[in-house]
Amino acid sequence: MKDINFDHLVNLQPFLAMEIFAKASELEKQGREIIHLEFGEPDFQTPAVISKAAIQAINDAQTKYTHTQGIDSFRAAVAKIYQEKYGVNISTSRILTSSGSSILLYIAIRLLVPPGDELLFTDPSYACYKNLAYIAGVVPKTVPLRLEDGFQLDMDLLKKSITPKTKAILINSPANPTGVVFSKETYKALAELEIPIISDEIYTDLIYEGDKYSMLNFTDRCVVLNGLSKYYAMTGWRLGYFIIDEKWVKTASFLNQNLMISASEFVQKAGAAALMESESECFKMSLEFDERRKFVLKRLKEIGLDPQYNPTAAFYIFLKYPNQNVKSLDLAKDILEKANVAMTPGIDFGQGGEGFIRLSYANSMENLDKALSNLEQYFKTYG
C-alpha cells in the first residue's frame, strides 16, 4: 500500500502549549523544577459534592447512554442557572448536552456553516477555532483584536470582514487568551447582525470586574456554548452543553447522536450536582483566582512587564514582551530553559498573537510568586 501523506489535514496545527509542556516534562525528568503557567486548567480539585454524586450514580448503575440532549435533571439545572445568573428564561428543550464543549463547538460549526463557507472569529483566539473550522471543511476568517483597543472587538472592522459567505460569527467573551470581557455595546451590535453568533461562554462565571452577560440577553438566534470544565474545576469529566434556537435542535441532535450518542449518565448526574450544589465552593475558587490575578498584575507592573490593558476574567494575561525581534515560540522555549517557567507562545492563538506570551494564573500563589521572581531575573538578564 502507498504511504498516506495526510495532505488533506495539512492545515491542522498542534497546540504549541503541548509542545512547551512536553519540553517542560523532559526537563522535570532531568530533575528540574518547572512552574506550569501554560495551561488553562484550574489547579483546584473538583468539589467533593460533585464527585460524591458521580460515585453515587455509578453505584446506582447509572452508567448508560442517555437522551442525546441530556438527562432531565442536568438540563433543568442549566435552565435554572441561566435564569438565576442572566435572568433569561430558556426551555430545557433548547439545551443539548455532550462530552465537553469542544465537541459542541464542532457541532455548532457544522450546524451553521456549510463546507466551503466562512466562519468569522477573532485573532487572537482559542487555538481550536481555526483547527475546528478546517476539520469541518469551512474557511476560517479572522478579525483582529488589538492591544491598543484593550482587546475589545472593533465592530467596524468586524463588519468589514463579513462577506456573503460568512455563515456564523464565533466570539469568546471572556476571551482566551486575553481574559477580556466584551462590552455590552458589542453584544448588542453583534445581536443586530443578520448572521448567527456562536458565543463561547465557558469563562463567564470567572468575571472579576464589571457586569456579565450571555448572548441570550440580546438574541435567541445564537448558539450559547458553555461547559463545566473551568468554573467547576471539571476539565477531565468532559461535560458541556449549548443552548440554541428551538428550530435548530432537531438537526443539532442528529449531529450529537452520530458523533457522541450522549454524554455519560453518571457525569451528567455529577454535573447536575455541580450546578445545584457546588456554587459556594466554586465561588470561593473564583475569589482565589481574582486574588492571584491582582497579585500577578501588581508584580508584572513592578518588574516592568505591565500588560497595558485590564484582564478582568478567566485566568489569563496576554503579555506583550519587550524584545519584539524574538518570536513568541522561541521566547517561550528560552524562558522555560533559563527561568523554569512554562508559558504559552502567543502565536498559538493566531498571527495576531505573535509578540505576546500567555500567562495562566491557574496555579498557587506560592508558585506564581516564584514564577514572577524568575521572570524578573530572566528579563533583567536577557531583556
Which residues contact ligand PMP (rule: CB under 6 A)? 40, 100-102, 126, 172, 176, 200, 202, 227, 229, 235, 240
Return the number of the residue (68 or 176) whose C-beta is nearest ligand PMP.
176
Q: How far is the CB of 362 from ligand PMP (least distance, A)?
A: 11
Q: How far is the CB of 276 from ligand PMP (least distance, A)?
A: 19
DSSP H or E segment with residue 186: helix 184-192
Return the number of the residue (213 or 378) whose C-beta is nearest ligand PMP.
213
Return the number of the residue (100 or 350) whose C-beta is nearest ligand PMP.
100
Strand runs (DSSP E) across 118-253, as ranges?
118-123, 139-144, 166-172, 197-200, 222-227, 240-243
Return the number of the residue (40 or 271) whose C-beta is nearest ligand PMP.
40
Q: How far is the CB of 121 from ligand PMP (least distance, A)?
A: 11
CA dist., res. 226 & res. 216, Å (int): 12
Identity at 236, one-letter amino acid code: G
Return the number of the residue (40 or 307) whose C-beta is nearest ligand PMP.
40
Q: How far is the CB of 200 from ligand PMP (least distance, A)?
A: 5
Q: How far is the CB of 174 from ligand PMP (least distance, A)?
A: 9
**Cis geometry, peptide bond prior to residue 345 (ω within 30 degrees of 0):** no
Return the number of the residue (176 or 219) whose C-beta is nearest ligand PMP.
176
CB atoms within 10 A of CB 11: 12
Strand partners, 197: 169, 222
Query: Which residue shows C-alpha cell 495539512?
Result: 10
Number of residues in the chain = 383
Return the number of the residue (47 or 240) whose C-beta is nearest ligand PMP.
240
Q: How far is the CB of 326 from ligand PMP (least distance, A)?
A: 25
Return the number of the residue (126 or 318) whose C-beta is nearest ligand PMP.
126
Residue 45, φ and ψ in degrees, nearest 5: -80, 150
Torsion, Cα 14 20 22 25, to 10 degrees, reads -160
Q: How far is the CB of 106 from ligand PMP (least distance, A)?
A: 10
Decide: 194 and 327 in contact? Cβ < 8 Å. no
DSSP tag of 194 = S
277-312 b/e (C-beta count within 10 Å ≥ 16 → b): ebbebbeebbebbbebbeebbebbeeeebebebebb
Q: Is the four-CA dihedral 25, 28, 30, 32 of positive or negative sign?
A: positive
Q: How far is the CB of 101 from ligand PMP (least distance, A)?
A: 3
Return the number of the residue (68 or 102) whose C-beta is nearest ligand PMP.
102
CA-to-CA separations, 36 to 21, 115, 138, 324, 374, in angstroms, rounded? 8, 38, 34, 23, 13
Q: How far is the CB of 172 from ligand PMP (least distance, A)?
A: 5
Strand partners, 121: 142, 170
Return the number of the residue (118 or 348) whose C-beta is nearest ligand PMP.
348
| Residue 357, all three cell numbers | 506570551
Q: How far is the CB of 373 from ligand PMP (least distance, A)?
A: 27
CA dist., res. 352 & res. 143, Å (int): 9
DSSP tag of 207 = B
